Structure 1
Amino acid sequence: MPEKDKRILILGVGNILFTDEGFGVRVAEELEQKYEFSDNVTVLDGGTLGLKLMGPIMESDYLIIVDIVLNDGAPGEIFRLLGEDLNKACAFKNSLHQTDLLDTLAQCSIIGSVPDDVVLFGIEPVNYKDMSAALSPDLEARLPEMEALVLEEAKKAGASYALRTAENPATEKIYVPRDTCGNS
């Protein structure tokens, strides 16, 4: 399949009510607000939907997931994970959604429709237990770097994108804005 025909899903997952746990969702929001993507790309706030994500996942050829991971790294460290490393990173039990994501990928596999390529861009959290809509300052500072990594991965997969302007503004509403006043 030609690169430009690949259906690419950029999936940000997490719970925005628990500080860094919402990092993946915040990346998806930022990408959707800043960029207009080619028709073969879907940017999705997967929140904590778990098995409800099966449809979008099975309809994609290239899946890019953004989430926090406990990977024995330094807080704020970014990882690009594939295969078995991805499975290990998604298997931790201290998250409100991770086992759902692993279960969702497993269910898609059982049905026989898993994207050809699955990449997880994970970041080691600073704080994922305190209730706050704000990211920790360390992870807030890493948003632009993670966005750039995801954009580069999408481009390699066959995506194209352009910065949004007044003529093509984002239509997606952010219902729970990030608290950026540094309360975390």
Structure 2
Amino acid sequence: MKNMPKNDKQILILGVGNVLYTDEGFGVRIAEELEQKYEFSPNVTVMDGGTLGLRLMGPIMDSDYLIIVDIVLNDGKPGEVFRLLGENLNKACAFKNSMHQTDLLDTLANCSIMGETPDDVILYGIEPFNFKDMSAALSPELETKLPEVIDAVLQEVKKAGGTYTSRSMTNPATEKIYVPRDTSRNS
């Protein structure tokens, strides 16, 4: 929480998107992969934010360091990864082709009005290949980018003061994936 010592920053990794629309689910798939493969220190929370919008205010206001993973329309090539902050984050999230992007900006603005925003907000955005077709599969272009973005997020966690270890038989994941990824379309 906000009144904890600075060496115990509360870090929130927030994967947002809709897993039913191909690449739109990229952020959620990153959150799922992180939950399944890594165990984090107590000051790190990994959250599937889906399309929750304003319902994310509580977790966002409780964090000191917010790492968002989502698709962005940033005039890049499909699969291009961006690390965005401040004004660039606002521009990238302002497109109207997705319900949750505008919700996310509104949510951050409402947190600001309440006077409780994270000290740091970083968006790892990836240019989508396809975010309009209904499918639980990521496009092959984005499927291959999962490890790169996971590594970037893990480095961000370390930079913010969090730690992680790989999961094994002794510390298995407890989170259930409710909409399995259809990887058969990518082979």
Contact in 2 for aligned 1:3/1:158 (Cα 8 Å)? no
2:107 to 99, 104, 107: 104
Contact 2:167 2:173 in 1 (8 A): yes
Q: With the length of structure 2 as denominator, give the TM-score of the two structures.
A: 0.96
Determine if contact 1:15/1:96 at 8 Å carries over to the other structure: no
Which of 27, 32, 50 is the matching residue for 1:29? 32
Asked if residue 80 in structure 1 is aligned to residue 87 in structure 2, the reply is no
Alpha-carbon deviation of 1:4? Answer: 3.6
**C-alpha displacement of 1:8:** 0.1
Deviations 1:56-110 (A, max 9, x none): 0000000000000000000000000000000001100011210000000000000
The CA distance in 1 between the partners of 2:11 and 2:118, in whole Å, is 9
- The residue type equivalent to 2:93 in the other structure is C
Question: What is the TM-score normalised by the length of structure 1?
Answer: 0.98
> Is the 2:39–2:164 Cα contact (8 Å) retained in structure 1?
yes
Question: How many equivalent residue pairs?
Answer: 184
- Equivalent residue, structure 2, for 1:168: 171
User: Structure 2 matches for 1:1-184, cutoff 5 A?
Assistant: 4-182=7-185
SS of 2:183's partner is: coil
Q: Secondary structure at the match of 1:121?
A: strand
Task: Give the RMSD, CA atoms, in angstroms.
Answer: 1.2
Contact 2:44 2:162 in 1 (8 A): yes
Runs of 4+ in 1 over 6 A off after TM superposition: none
Percent identity of the aligned residues? 78
Point out where structure 2 has 5 or more consecutive residues left out of the alignment: none
